[in-house]
Amino acid sequence: MCKISRRKRHTGLKIVFWIILLLFIEVGMWIYFSFYLPHPEITLPDLIGKPIKQDMKTLKKLKLNNVIVENEPSLNQPKGTVIYSDPEADTPIMSNTPVKLEISSGNVAKMANYKGQEISDVIFDLTKNIGMKKEQITVKKISGSSKSINTVIRQSTLTTNFDYSSQKIVFYISDGKKKVKISNYVNQNFSNVQSHLIENGISDNQLSITYRESNTIAIGNIIKNDNVNHSIVPGSSSKINFVISSGSAVKTKAMPSVIGMSKGDAQKALEAIGFSANNISFGGVLDTTVESQSIDANTLIIPNKTFVSLNMTAPVSHEKAIDQIDVTTLQGLELTQTTDQLQQLGIDYKVEDETTTDDQEDNKVKNATVNADTVNIVVYQYVAPAPEKTPTQSSSTTQNSSSSSTSSSSSSSSNTKK
């Protein structure tokens, strides 16, 4: 029994040995034929736009059997035709080189998942490679994502029966604004906290402010805020509520706006919150209304220790008279009209004459200019032109002159002779 058992065991070991040896030989041959045995070089033909069955026959004739086929949607090529090959046509390859072919599955196919891809690459693939129209694609930006800017976060559909020729799709991409973690800002100056949050993308509209009197928290500092340790998306509807100290209940008040009030009403409004009359000063024309105040409205102040200056409006009636007239409008007026107008306004003036031969311009203002508080007026004065001499008068005058000269000469000659 022992001898038989040993023989069986020995025979079993031999069988296992030969099986392992055969497997080793097969693997070695596969490696040799795949990687070491020289393969003939083949030029890959143009397969694009042809039916896959036809292309497979072509590849088989060329003894290119390592072919990978994938289906992709396409509006540019009929269903069942090749839309892409890798390597491209006319590329020299070996007979064992893998050839990848993408064939058109038509306009209805599964929508690919573009999550994590750059939106520009996605749009290029859908419009250029597949043939969708840009009007079918909508892009919306979302804040608070850890994804890089313009990266797809999600899309509106991943349906297996998406009609690329007519259906629309929405891609939600990151705008690059990350969520902002809110800390406990108690006793910190609100202006500093506000600046910090805005620098990180939080808008003013997301900050809600309430003032409360406090004897322990300094004026302008934060008493409390909500959303502590929570993250807020910049630009979203989420708000951060702050309660800010307005200081002691006895000492601080919010400065009111008194713009547009009369002197008396403005003074009453300020005295009502604790201002002393001695701490209020007025400038300008006192019987008008307040035009500006030295302390902005809603500024927290201590009224009995604060000085405020109110500037009153200066109406036209209180302006300099000379500033109320446009001297260019005086040009062409009669001098009397001009002087009457200036006298009514109490404006001093000086008049200078300038001659003119145009009787239509006589006594009219040529121009007027302002010199300090005086208006200088230049007025035309008509001067008749000298009469022109006629040819007859000129000849007669010459003859008379000649006769006189002759007579004078004779007389002179006569006197000489004597």
Domains and CATH numbers, the chain: 42-106 (3.30.10.20), 108-174 (3.30.10.20), 180-245 (3.30.10.20), 253-317 (3.30.10.20), 322-382 (3.30.10)
Q: Are strands 308-312 and 280-283 parallel, antiparallel or unpaired?
A: parallel
Q: Which residue has the higher pLDDT, 12 or 300?
A: 300
pLDDT at 36: 55
Residue 95 to residues 42, 65, 169, 320, Cα–Cα distance (Å): 7, 8, 42, 103
β-bridge mates for residue 81, sequence order: 51
How confident is the model over 230-258, as pLDDT tens digits? 988 888 888 999 999 987 765 678 899 99
Residue 378 has pLDDT above 80, yes or no: yes
How confident is the model over 65-93, as pLDDT tens digits? 899 998 889 888 899 999 899 999 999 98
Q: Tokens in use for 391?
A: 């040819």
Q: Which of 208-222, 279-293, 309-323 has the lowest mean pLDDT?
A: 309-323
Residue 202 has pLDDT above 80, yes or no: yes
Distance of CA 290 to the CA centre of its chain: 37
pLDDT at 394: 46
Could you tell me the pLDDT band of residue 391, with boundaries at 50, 70 and 90?
low
* CA dihedral (321, 325, 328, 333) positive or negative: negative
Could you tell me the pLDDT band of residue 359, with boundaries at 50, 70 and 90?
confident
Nearest CA among 37, 172, 149, 9 for reference residue 94:
37
pLDDT at 416: 32
pTM of the model: 0.40
Could you tell me the pLDDT band of residue 9, with boundaries at 50, 70 and 90?
low
Q: Tell me, what amino acid is at 175?
A: D
Residue 385 to residues 77, 304, 360, 392, Cα–Cα distance (Å): 99, 81, 14, 21
β-bridge mates for residue 210, sequence order: 243
Mean pLDDT of the chain: 83
Residue 373 has pLDDT above 90, yes or no: no
pLDDT at 250: 58
Q: Tokens in use for 226?
A: 């909500």
